[in-house]
Amino acid sequence: MGRRRQSVTIKHVAADAGVSLQTVSRVINNEPNVRPEMKERVQASIDKLGYVPSIAAQRMSGSRSYLILAINDRERTIADWQGRQGVDWVDQMLLGGMLKCAEYGYRMIFELVDTHNDHVERELRAAIAALQPDGVILTPPHSDNPLIVGLLDQQKIPFARIGSRGGDAGIALTMDDEGSARRATRHLIDLGHKRIGFIPGSPEYSLSRWRIDGWEGEMAAAGLATDGLLAEGDFTYASGAAAARHLLASANPPTAIIASSDQMALATLEVARDLGIDVPGQLSIVSFDNTPVVRFTQPALTAVDQPVAETASRAVELIIAAQRGAPRPTEPTRVQGGLVQRGSTAAPPVAVHG
């Protein structure tokens, strides 16, 4: 039986380079107070020995943990996982966050916290105490939860607030929800639609209001009314079905509907099918999120592409910059998404279009 290969440690690198452990640690942590020639010497030993820095080695300086904690809503995330409905918010968040962390020698840890739980503060304190993260990424609705925001601000931990316009604490980032709703509305107006319905998400999320504002603003700019065209939703399939039935049963139904989640858009498509309404011949549908499932519907859904991965990646960059002493941005960082046009949108029926 062959002898087990001994793993290379920071001590081996220090011995090979003829420097102290602290010097190797400073090179690993990319600290500025290392002479270029010393950095090259240590890096040469790292490359020769095949050393892979561990979090323990990176923590030697005592000032950083090299961990970023990402927090998502427990109830909704578990429901999405159990439903197996193709929702890929968490996948995209981890994709962007983990890859960016790796570029800087950090690791990302993912935790679920219930924003409605009376023990939310205790849960978060426990996670912070156990992990000692260098930064925290909050996602909606945690981003605007005063308990969570207040606690992180009190702890002096750099934190990013995705889906928030911020305030006096944290680093705010948005995915340009208002602008995305405007672009979706403009797409339909350019096709000739005048009665465009809108199904918003849960009012618990600030971004739901921003999307309504974008839709209303673009309709107003085109001189189009919105009376009777807003139907309540909460991101779920069931709420989308109820909202779509309400809109399509009206005396003067819309010729297009924008739904604030893929699940609500799927429900709208199914309701139209049940009512014998052709999509896109009689009704155009635009969705938000652009999760994988919308590509495989009949017809495939036109969708606002939410830049979740890009936003998480930017959040990591801003947290690391803050950890290194950069000032907090005074304005929210906006990451703009796109509109992917597919087969669910077309010009309205000729009788209406005319």
List all residues 6 or more positions away from 31 whose beta carbon is below 8 Å from its beta carbon: 61
User: Phi then psi for 115, rounded to 5 degrees?
Assistant: -65, -20
Lowest mean pLDDT of 49-63, 67-81, 247-261, name the range. Answer: 49-63
**pTM for the complete prediction?**
0.78
List all residues 6 or more positions away from 298 whose beta carbon is below 8 Å from its beta carbon: none
| Over residues 43-70, mean pLDDT | 74
- Phi-psi category of residue 6: left, alpha or beta, with phi > 0 → left and psi -120 to 50 → alpha: beta
The predicted-structure confidence for 4-27, as pLDDT tens digits, reads as follows: 445 778 888 889 989 988 888 778
The predicted-structure confidence for 294-323, as pLDDT tens digits, reads as follows: 999 999 999 999 999 999 999 999 999 998
- 73 by DSSP, 3-state: which? strand
Higher pLDDT, 90 or 265: 265
Structure tokens at 64: 């950083």
Higher pLDDT, 76 or 314: 314
Distance between the two ends of the chain, CA-based, in angstroms? 83
- 256 by DSSP, 3-state: which? strand
Higher pLDDT, 145 or 114: 145
- Decide if 111 contacts 327 (C-beta within 8 A): no
- Phi-psi category of residue 218: left, alpha or beta, with phi > 0 → left and psi -120 to 50 → alpha: alpha
Distances in Å between the Cα of 76 and the Cα atoms of 73, 153, 173, 267, 343 are: 6, 25, 21, 18, 29
What is the predicted pLDDT for the residue at 147? Answer: 87
Torsion of CA 305, 285, 80, 317, to 10 degrees: 10
The predicted-structure confidence for 248-295, as pLDDT tens digits, reads as follows: 999 999 999 999 999 999 999 999 999 999 999 999 999 999 988 899
Burial of 252 (0-12, 13-18, 19+ CB in 10 A): exposed
Q: How far apart are CA 190 and CA 176, in angstroms?
A: 21
Q: What is the mean pLDDT of the chain?
A: 88
Looking at the chain, the whole-number percentage of residues with pLDDT higher than 70 is 92
Q: How far apart are CA 188 and CA 72, in angstroms?
A: 33
What is the predicted pLDDT for the residue at 353? Answer: 43
Position 66 pLDDT exceeds 80: yes
List all residues 6 or more positions away from 60 whose beta carbon is below 8 Å from its beta carbon: 10, 21, 22, 25
Looking at the chain, the whole-number percentage of residues with pLDDT higher than 90 is 54
The predicted-structure confidence for 218-236, as pLDDT tens digits, reads as follows: 999 999 999 999 999 999 9
What is the predicted pLDDT for the residue at 195? Answer: 97
What is the predicted pLDDT for the residue at 38? Answer: 87
The predicted-structure confidence for 189-219, as pLDDT tens digits, reads as follows: 999 999 999 999 999 889 999 999 999 999 9
What is the predicted pLDDT for the residue at 3? Answer: 39
Q: How confident is the model at residue 34 (pLDDT cuts 50, 70, 90)?
A: confident
What is the predicted pLDDT for the residue at 183? Answer: 97
Torsional sign, CA 47, 49, 51, 56: negative
Residue 123's H or E segment, with its range, is helix 120-131
Residue 351 amino acid letter: A
- Decide if 264 contacts 239 (C-beta within 8 A): yes
What is the predicted pLDDT for the residue at 75? Answer: 80
- Any idea what DSSP says for residue 60? G
